[in-house]
A and B are shown apart, each in its own frame.
Chain A
């Protein structure tokens, strides 16, 4: 395949995640509302929100520093770059080698680092609450993520997502306990990182238990749009990652023709819809935890990751 073609695929994938991100969020909200027997806002509402936000004037607190204005773009850029490196419908991403799973985790870590700083920048009590809790969750979720990456790397012999996906499609995988543990762990991490119920509630304001929303409370206008878009991108990223590792079916192999790419795209959107529906179902069936119960929940992901790694280390011998 020519360089130009692969570059085109890379760009198309980047645009697809960017465009699909609000859609997925809108879809999850819609399904959730339907499950509660409400009508719910239209699926396209998040797009309208984003456009409206970008057109409004941004209100910045007096005590904010220059960092406050830069951070939304930085957070967006880091998240987008991370999302662009996860295979969605085709495994043959041109730049996928420039960051492996560890680097993707770290890129998301950078986004979180800056977002937490933004929470502290204005010097309000809510911002501090959000930042400090977010960092506490991160101190458990990040090692959990890395342990899961370890497990996958031990099974697939690589930390490159595209190689892992290719391995998962091969018959060499088999049924493995470690893989199951890693999947449960990754789902928990995804829930925690995306501030979903039961760790955090994405739809709440004015509540002492909010975490992510508390951090970004002072943002408005285009800055808030950037941050919302990053949050939506992050959700797509995690869904794509789980899909590409654990259900890589339909993923177009590197150098695939247009037909396979079409199949890949169809499969990808089916997976997104499925994951969105499952997420909505899960969120409506559990209650939000107390903040200090959440570390136990995320800790489980860490334990699962560790256990999976351990089992993998040991049963390699067989």
Chain B
């Protein structure tokens, strides 16, 4: 039975990496938000499974938070925001798709090597989950770097945070307080960013961050 436990945990964590790649692949804003919701759902499942394996009740709460906030509230809020802003619904990317994906794969390879090397001798499940979590974090960062649209940057940031949660769940024993505070900080970040988005939109008529650079007189 142990084998099956391991396989399912592995599958869910791997699924999280896969959804990160799906986020990179999307070129429409709504599809991006839906994919993000999917990622949050996968995260919830992964964390829930960890709770089941580790018999850690507080992880169920984490999973519940992931479902309620990340899979429902935040995507819904962002959907509305995009609708209200009436922004261009395509994701403007700085680097085209194929190089981004290749860079993403290289990052996954990198995090595998780093994590599996560093955690030699630890529980194999934790090792693999940590490696996947680091991949998700790096992919989130990659997304923030390669997309110029503010909404997709927000999504990138939040998928990065999903990676953190996965790491925390796998590492056995992140206190619930920390977890809740992280969740709140993300929520607050979302609100701040939301206000910020509206402000940019009011002033520049776009949410493309290029506009900010132009405003500062910078040329790329």
Residues of chain A touching chain B, judged by Cβ–Cβ distance below 8 Å, are: 174-178, 180-181, 295-296, 299-300, 303, 306-307, 310-311, 314-315, 317-318
Contacts and interface: CB of A to CB of B under 8 A. Distances in A.
B161 to A, nearest CB: 22
Contacts of B112: 310-311, 314
B51 to A, nearest CB: 19
B108 A176 contact: no
Nearest to B104: A303
A314 to B, nearest CB: 5
Nearest to A172: B3
A314 B113 CA distance: 8
List of 3 A-B pairs having minimum Cβ-Cβ separation, nearest first: A177-B14, A175-B7, A174-B7
A299 B97 CA distance: 9
B160 to A, nearest CB: 19
Contacts of B105: 303, 306-307, 310
Contact of B11 (A177, A299, A300, A310): A177
Contacts of A299: 97-98, 101
Contacts of A314: 112-113, 116, 131
Nearest to A297: B25
B109 interface: yes
10 contacts: A174-B3, A174-B7, A176-B7, A180-B14, A296-B97, A303-B102, A307-B17, A307-B108, A310-B105, A315-B10
Nearest to B96: A296
Looking at chain A's contact residues, the main secondary structure is helix
Contact of B98 (A176, A178, A296, A307): A296
B139 to A, nearest CB: 11
A318 B127 contact: yes
B36 interface: no
Contact of A175 (B10, B97, B128): B10
A176 B101 contact: no
A295 B18 CA distance: 19
A176 B109 contact: no
Contacts of A315: 10, 128
Contacts, number: 61
B21 interface: yes
B101 A318 contact: no
Contacts of B173: none
A177 B108 CA distance: 14
A310 B107 CA distance: 11
A176 B10 contact: yes
A94 B111 CA distance: 45
Given A177-B18, A300-B25, A310 B101 contact: no
Contacts of B10: 175-177, 315
Contact of B18 (A176, A181, A306): A181
Nearest to B112: A314
A307 B127 contact: no
Contacts of A300: 25, 101
Contacts of B124: 318
Contacts of B116: 314, 317
A318 B123 CA distance: 10
A181 B108 CA distance: 14
Nearest to B12: A177
B15 interface: yes
A316 B91 CA distance: 37
Nearest to A317: B116
Nearest to A318: B124
Contacts of B21: 303, 307
A303 B25 CA distance: 11
A310 B98 contact: no
A315 B112 CA distance: 9
B118 interface: no
A180 B98 CA distance: 21
Contacts of B94: none
